[in-house]
Chains A and B, each alone.
Chain A
Amino acid sequence: MGEREIVIDKQRFTYEGYFDPKQLYAILDEWFADNWYDRREKKHTESTTKEGILIDIEFEPWKTVTDYLRFIIKLRLQITGKETTIETPTGKKRMYEGKVHGLLNAYLETDNEGRWQSKAFFIFISALYDKYLYKPLTGGYQAILKQETNSLVNTIRGYLNVTKKGYER
């Protein structure tokens, strides 16, 4: 593993209203698959209390772009809510009413295979390469990663806002 360059630092989003955690999870899975990210779920916590449910999920999907560069997205979702039943035109639907907090970071990782980390001289050469020779290319990849991360956030927001508008009382 080489150096990680921060492209997006602590982008937050919050939603309050109705949602279905299963469907939200399925949408995330679908996004990772459609955008060729290898899905990695670092941590998944679920707790049931008298106040409702608490779900804390940490994803760290990655995509190998070239043999030297990799995109990494860190997404943390904290979901709190109480179970409720909503009347829909097709019948009763089980949902949760609560809050969804999201925190997102995105990184560019160079030398993802760790070939230039075995000796101090190689680390020095790779640092020079990243800073002066590879920089023009890195700028383009940063833009692609920002675009993909925004697409992920918009997908999550899109689903949650559709749920809100669909079931607002």
Chain B
Amino acid sequence: MGAGDQGVPISRINHNGNYNLSKLLHTIQNWMTEEGYDFKEKTYKQKNTDEGLEIETEIEGERKHSAYLKFSINVLIKIKDQNNVEITRNGKKETTQNGRLMLETSGKVESDWQKAFTKSTFLKNANKILDKYILGPLISKHQDELYYTIISLQKTIKKAMDFEAV
């Protein structure tokens, strides 16, 4: 991890009602694959409660931009009171889920992801100068691009969840 790691602010999507969890996860995975990110499910936790299932999953997408810079996108999904429900859509019966879903998206431009500048104090200081004064504008530009890439992911997620305001 380099001195110039720049984070993209967290954005949160909340939904109470019906949703299709399988469709949502596949949508995120397909989007990441199409954008060239390596998809990885970092954690998956599930717990049965009286009100329904509690699920927490963290998805990470990584893209190695160069030997020095790497982009990563994180999606954290927390679900409470999930139950399976059957709904009728366009005359057909479908099994979906009903519950309270919270989804957070964030991202980061990571410099020196190969940790080449961590071997000595001199290299660490050189890394700081490199990130701040030499590559600073470039890292900032990539952070902006990553920000708008994450907005595109959010729009895709909202469409998959049939949001009205998309």
Answer yes or no: B13 CB below 8 A from chain A CBs: yes
Answer yes or no: A9 CB below 8 A from chain B CBs: no
Determine the distance from Cα of A96 to Cα of B165 in the docked complex, in whole angstroms. Answer: 12
Q: Are A53 and B164 in contact (CB under 8 A)?
A: yes
Determine the distance from Cα of A24 to Cα of B164 in the docked complex, in whole angstroms. Answer: 10
Distance in Å from the Cβ of B159 to the closest Cβ of chain A?
Answer: 11
Using C-beta atoms within 8 Å of the partner chain, give the interface range for chain A: 20 to 34
Distance in Å from the Cβ of A138 to the closest Cβ of chain B?
Answer: 25
Distance in Å from the Cβ of A115 to the closest Cβ of chain B?
Answer: 11
Contacts of A25 in B (CB 8 A): 165-166
Q: Are A47 and B17 in contact (CB under 8 A)?
A: yes
Determine the distance from Cα of A30 to Cα of B11 in the docked complex, in whole angstroms. Answer: 20
0/1 per residue, A50-82, Cβ < 8 Å to B?
000101110000000000000000000001000
Contacts of B18 in A (CB 8 A): 48
Contacts of A79 in B (CB 8 A): 165
B131-166 residues at the A interface, CB under 8 angstroms? 147, 151, 154, 158, 161, 163-166
Answer yes or no: B48 CB below 8 A from chain A CBs: no
Q: Are B9 and A40 in contact (CB under 8 A)?
A: yes
Candidate in B13, B161, B165 with the most chain A CB atoms within 10 angstroms: B165
Answer yes or no: A44 CB below 8 A from chain B CBs: yes
Determine the distance from Cα of A43 to Cα of B154 in the docked complex, in whole angstroms. Answer: 11
Answer yes or no: A99 CB below 8 A from chain B CBs: no
Answer yes or no: B16 CB below 8 A from chain A CBs: yes
Using C-beta atoms within 8 Å of the partner chain, give the interface range for chain B: 10 to 19
Considering the complex, give the chain A residue whose CB is closest to the CB of B17.
Answer: A48
Q: Are A42 and B11 in contact (CB under 8 A)?
A: yes
Considering the complex, give the chain B residue whose CB is closest to the CB of A57.
Answer: B165
Q: Are A22 and B154 in contact (CB under 8 A)?
A: no
Contacts of B12 in A (CB 8 A): 42-44
Contacts of B78 in A (CB 8 A): none
Q: Are B165 and A45 in contact (CB under 8 A)?
A: no
Distance in Å from the Cβ of A132 to the closest Cβ of chain B?
Answer: 30
Answer yes or no: B114 CB below 8 A from chain A CBs: no
Distance in Å from the Cβ of A126 to the closest Cβ of chain B?
Answer: 20
- Choose from A21, A38, A42 the contact partner of B164 (Cβ within 8 Å): A21
Q: Are B16 and A44 in contact (CB under 8 A)?
A: no
- Choose from A21, A41, A43, A46 the contact partner of B17 (Cβ within 8 Å): A46
Q: Are B151 and A22 in contact (CB under 8 A)?
A: no
Distance in Å from the Cβ of A83 to the closest Cβ of chain B?
Answer: 9
Known contacts A42-B12, A43-B14, then 10 further A-B pairs from the complex at CB < 8 Å, ordered by chain A residue: A40-B11, A41-B151, A43-B11, A44-B154, A45-B14, A46-B14, A46-B17, A49-B17, A55-B164, A96-B164
User: 18 A–B contact pairs at CB < 8 A?
Assistant: A21-B164, A22-B164, A22-B166, A25-B165, A41-B151, A44-B14, A44-B154, A45-B14, A45-B15, A45-B16, A46-B14, A46-B161, A47-B14, A49-B17, A55-B164, A55-B165, A57-B165, A79-B165
Chain B residues packing against A (C-beta within 8 Å): 9, 11-18, 147, 151, 154, 158, 161, 163-166
